[in-house]
Amino acid sequence: MTAPKLSDEEFKQAWYELKSPQRVAEATGMALRNVYQRRKIIENRYNIILPVDDKRSNSFYIRDHLSRANMTLQDGIIMVASDCHYWPGEPSTAHQAFVKLCKKLKPALVVMNGDVFDGVTNSRHPKAHWENVKKPTVKEELEVVADRLDEIQKASTAARHVWTLGNHDQRYEAKLAQSVPEYEGIPGFSLKDHFPSWIHAMSLMVNDNLLIKHRTNKGGVHATWNNVLHSGSIHIVTGHLHRLQATIFSNYRGTFWGIDTGTLAEVDGEHMGYGEDNPKNHASGFAVLTLIDGELLYPEFCYVRDDVAFFRGKPV
């Protein structure tokens, strides 16, 4: 017997009462697969969230007017890498370790926290000298970014994949928006057009208590401290500074972390030519964040030393 077709309002009413795809399917006679499809269509059509009451499930939505993605995650691992600055050639030690740990740890969420794309040839900075290193073209960069992200996705098939944009990532669109604004909206003229399987946003808020974004307006050697101090009592996870560290901050509301996620690139790679061979507090690696009952545990790091990646005291 064919299940009666429900109107959008009838489907929404059933969902709000039952809050479960399985229960909606049983109550309406719809196939479970059709329930999932109908839910997605209605959420997109009315710009709403049809929530579930299973605390193990993840809800996810993007508020376009804030360029922020929001997610709930009760129990699971979030792997955060930033400042990849991918160039053609062999992948970095940190990247290889990231892929290996994705396979091993099976994260619920993978976040590339900005500057995945380097944009070396469309930088806003003028050339400072004649260069003896061949810089990759935009096309070559897009190709290597696609290859590296594909490796990560294949190693974390059960995870959601989010790309929070960094200042280097924005070079792609900024160059085009300034040079050919009349081409706005044409496929390919936005960076996200080339990577449709990733969710693109400026920031990601998890459980309303953990914010992941490439950078804040707090810089300097005390950036992680200042980030969490001024956060309004939430955890702040940032990249941009290429440092790998966590700063603890406690007040009467609890204990919170300011976290820098290092760089997935080599510390002294060819992309760092602008560093003028100065000493720097950069570290190659990434962060592994574990949530239990929606709360962040002590942050962990994978750290590269002498071309070997270490996690929890052992080589990866």
Q: What pTM was computed for the model?
A: 0.79
Residues 6+ apart with CB under 8 A from 231: 211, 256, 258
Q: How far is CA 219 from CA 128, 239, 251, 260, in A?
A: 24, 11, 22, 11
Report CA torsion sign: 199, 201, 205, 210.
positive
CATH topology (fold) of 59-315:
Purple Acid Phosphatase; chain A, domain 2 (3.60.21)
For the stretch 174-219, pLDDT in tens is 889 888 989 888 999 999 999 999 999 999 999 999 999 999 877 7
For the stretch 49-81, pLDDT in tens is 777 765 445 555 555 545 889 999 999 999 999
| Integer Cα distance of 216 and 202 in angstroms | 11
Note whether 262 and 284 are within 8 A (CB).
Answer: yes
CB crowding 239-259: b at 16 or more within 10 Å, else e: bbbbbbbbbebeeeeeebbbb
For the stretch 234-284, pLDDT in tens is 999 999 999 999 999 999 989 999 999 999 999 877 776 666 677 778 999
Residue 224's SS3 state is helix
Q: Take residue 121 and report the two structure tokens written for it.
A: 């040839």
